[in-house]
Amino acid sequence: MSDYPVNMDVKPDVKAFFDPATNTISYVVKDPASTACAVVDSVMDIDYAAGRITYDHADEIIDYVQSSGLSVEWLIETHVHADHLSAAPYIQQKLGGKLGIGRNITIVQDTFGKVFNEGTEFQRDGSQFDKLFDEGDTYMVGEMQCFVMHTPGHTPACMTHVMGDAAFVGDTLFMPDGGSARADFPGGDAGTLYDSIQKVLSLPDEMRLFMCHDYGPGGRDIQWETTVAEEKTNNIHVGGGKTKEEFVKFRTERDAQLAMPKLIIPSLQVNMRAGELPPADESGKRFLKVPVNTL
């Protein structure tokens, strides 16, 4: 890991917030040397059938930050989520901070800008975000230096964010008994995902890994924290020395059996806009589109 500024001596405080509606875990990550923090993968609530947006999950994060006397410096999206809507702009309006995502958001915007027939007014250059991260970029949360690893495969824009001895892997990995995320979305690739997982697993064995999702396989309680060592040994999809060929065969066959996420239609339209809803029409109303026989 000589190419990355790993510092296992820095141990940030990590507060997790589980959203049962989408099985998403959001995080507030505090610099141990100051009151600065980052918010990772926040959730905006949607009643899809009613077309109603609410902010209960985001408000819980905001209340925690304010009651703890913290200062938000970054709002991080590990990727463009297809199963929940981001609350980053809402939290940013309340608490400040810069909104960042991987540079390949532009690929996702181009792909789904066409799918949803967004027209030329929809910017596909990532300008909706404050920062587009490249492989190896560093940034500061208070006095804590953080860095990013480009870990595509689930989507082209997936990034793992390493903050001290904690790495936030998005959907690149699940808990050891959960395996890995699908790789069949546009721009996804099972072989690329395997390579990205190996990159994550090349971090120090004692590195804490934090998941973006958990589904409680076998009925166990929801979990979100593990280590590199545990994943290398026990991950059901890649652990124990499983080869790339074995992984690609399994992942491809498995993905062919999966249904689309329930919230993929609203999630992609909102998240490719950095969490903003589509612009209002002349009457002030906002609409989400449903492409037919496209996804």
| Backbone torsions φ then ψ of 215, nearest 5 degrees | -120, 10
169: which 2 tokens?
């892997």
What pLDDT was estimated at residue 2? 58
**By the 8 A CB rule, do 175 and 135 touch?**
no
Which residue, among 19, 119, 92, 86, has the nearest Cα to 267 in the 3D structure? Answer: 86
Q: Look up the CATH number of the domain holding residue 101.
A: 3.60.15.10
Residue 280 belongs to some domain of the structure: no
**By the 8 A CB rule, do 86 and 77 touch?**
yes
| CA atoms within 13 A of residue 117's CA, in its CB half-sphere | 6
Domain count, the chain: 1
The continuous run of DSSP H or E covering 74 comes out as strand 71-76
Residue 292 belongs to some domain of the structure: no
DSSP per residue, 13-39: EEEEEEETTTTEEEEEEE-TTSSEEEE
Could you tell me the residue range of the domain that residue 100 belongs to?
Answer: 13-269
The continuous run of DSSP H or E covering 227 comes out as strand 225-227
The CA distances from residue 151 to 22, 45, 211, in Å, are 22, 27, 14
Residue 165 belongs to some domain of the structure: yes
Beta strands in 156-195 (DSSP E): 159-163, 166-168
> Which residue type occupies 294?
T
Residue 200 belongs to some domain of the structure: yes
pTM across the whole model: 0.96
Residue 282 belongs to some domain of the structure: no
What is the Rg, in whole angstroms, of the alpha carbon atoms belonging to the chain? 18
Angle between helices 105-115 and 264-271 (to 10 degrees): 130
> Cβ neighbours of residue 248 under 8 Å, at least 6 residues apart?
190, 191, 194
Given its phi and psi angles, is residue 103 left (phi above 0), alpha (psi -120 to 50 degrees) or beta? alpha
pLDDT tens, position by position, for the chain (295 residues)? 558 999 999 999 999 999 999 999 999 999 999 999 999 999 999 999 999 999 999 999 999 999 999 999 999 999 999 999 999 999 999 999 999 999 999 999 999 999 999 988 899 999 999 999 999 999 999 999 999 999 999 999 999 999 999 999 999 999 999 999 999 998 999 999 999 999 999 999 999 999 999 999 999 999 999 999 999 999 999 999 999 999 999 999 999 999 999 999 999 999 999 999 999 999 999 999 999 887 6
Which residue, among 82, 116, 111, has the nearest Cα to 292 in the 3D structure? Answer: 116
Beta strands in 115-155 (DSSP E): 131-133, 138-141, 144-150
> Cβ neighbours of residue 259 under 8 Å, at least 6 residues apart?
none
What pLDDT was estimated at residue 293? 81
Residue 4 belongs to some domain of the structure: no
Which residue, among 108, 115, 227, has the nearest Cα to 165 in the 3D structure? Answer: 227
Count CB atoms within 10 A of the CB of residue 245: 10
What pLDDT was estimated at residue 238? 96
Q: Is 277 strand, coil or helix?
A: coil
Residue 276 belongs to some domain of the structure: no
How far, in Å, CA of 86 to CA of 77, rounded? Answer: 8
